[in-house]
A and B are shown apart, each in its own frame.
Chain A
């Protein structure tokens, strides 16, 4: 249909901002989760001890692998717990902002 040749705007379609919002929220959630995991596993496995050199030794490497696995597990368990509580008791007094 474009007899002018080429397209003046490479972006076709309109932007659904609700979809974008949800995607951004998910992105923020995952980024936050990852950053907390990095921080927590650093504190547990490496901590504030004086670094001998710039590499991870074997103990630290193994610790990190296990730490990541456990952190993921904890997240899953907490999610299940929150879901089961949410299903059992509908949110009556849960919100800090009160209700309308």
Chain B
């Protein structure tokens, strides 16, 4: 995305929009991880409280998802850079 043709008022506007979207994105990520890790880890409903096994599962699952997301982001950025470099 090329913001070089934007004047400073437009850039300030875009910065505010981007900040808001980043916050919304983070909240979506939070909800997403919660759902996925719940589905993976919580399959025994004989008790209300999380067992220690389920707790460690959730911790591992969340960490794994975040690492996965970071890796995808890194590959995605590389692919974008390649494409931008190749077309110029």
Contact B64 A56 (CB under 8 A): yes
- Cβ-neighbour of A23 out of B12, B14, B41 (below 8 A): B14
**Residue total for B at the interface (Cβ-Cβ under 8 A):** 38
In whole angstroms, what is the CA distance A90 to B65 when docked?
Answer: 43
* Chain A contacts for B73, CB-based, 8 A: 34
Task: Knowing A10-B8, A11-B8, A15-B9 are in contact, say whether A56-B71 is a contact too (CB < 8 A).
Answer: yes
Give the most central of B12, B14, B59: most A CB within 10 Å. Answer: B14
Binding site for A on B (CB under 8 A): 1, 3, 5-10, 12-14, 17-18, 21, 25, 28, 32, 36, 39-41, 57, 59-65, 67-69, 71-73, 75-76, 79
